[in-house]
Amino acid sequence: MMNRHFSGLLAAVLVVFPASVQAQEPVDTALVLAVDASGSIDPLEFALQREGIAAAVTNPDLLDIVRFGQHGTIAIAYLEWGGPGTAETVVPWSFVSDAQTAGLFADKVLRAQRSLQSYNAIGDAIVAGHALLDACPCQPTRRVIDVSGDNPDNRSIVPAPLARDRAVDAGIVINALAILQDSYAGASGQPWLVEAYQAEVIGGPGAFVMTADSRQDFERALLDKMLLEIAAPVPKRNPDLDSNKVASGEHSARLE
């Protein structure tokens, strides 16, 4: 049953990018920005998120890293998620190599209509991001899904750990940005949402969770996160990295 749901969600997203029209352009990173648009986010908070994305993508420090990459280009897509199976590609794949192309992508993000979402299906967002990466009209050195949110997965058709493990098996790295809304700590002493994302969302060599102390801190945190994602060395699969370690979050900083 779960395999059928997973395949169905993949097929639904892949329809947007038929393989027959893909032109394969080499890029250093193909990055899906999977952003929380669920009902817990009011219009002002949502605007801060989009403004943070636009500012991060056009930041000169980030563009310097892009420019000095092997190919000097990255591919970015912007996806909004919320309810079960409703993740939506709001801005499709764009190639960013300089201030002009970064500005065009940022403008599309700022002008796009907000998608209609309900509540917290992160697993389905990962499925949608996986499908987007499979359909990218590019040949990336790295493939990354960048998930940001303020709550754990709780309504997915495909649970986040399962979607994460399938993406990692396909060579995708999943990082997370936890937007903290309280000061509660988990068993390890870290914020409880960080622990949830470590256990259920992130995966792949070098995967990490970064935190934003508030919506106002989103721009700073996202920029720091994207700098790491785009500048990261090419991940190599570690033969000792098994599914148990992935599920328990014991897989961060595994680069060779």
43-71 pLDDT, tens digit each = 888 888 899 999 999 999 999 999 999 99
Distance CA 193, CA 63 (A): 30
Angle, helices 43-57 vs 99-111, to 10°: value is: 170
Contact (Cβ atoms closer than 8 angstroms) between residue 2 and residue 79: no
* Rounded-to-integer distance, Cα 53 and Cα 37, Å: 13
d(CA 215, CA 81): 17
Point out which residues pair with 186 in neighbouring strands.
none
pTM here? 0.82
Q: What angle do CA 251, 74, 208 make, to 5 degrees?
A: 20
Q: What is the pLDDT of residue 202?
A: 98
What pLDDT, on a 0 to 100 scale, did the predictor assign at position 245? 32
- In the block, residue with structure tokens 């907000």: 114
The pLDDT score that the predictor gives to residue 43 is: 85
Q: What gap in Å lies between CA 86 and CA 115, rounded to an integer? A: 9
To the nearest 10°, report the CA torsion of 148, 245, 171, 133.
-20
| Segments in the chain below pLDDT 70 | 1-23, 233-256
Instruction: Specify the pLDDT at position 3.
Output: 56
Nearest to 81 by CA among 131, 123, 51: 123
**Amino acid 96: pLDDT:** 97
- Nearest-angstrom CA–CA distance, 61 and 53: 14
CA gap 84, 121 in Å, rounded: 5
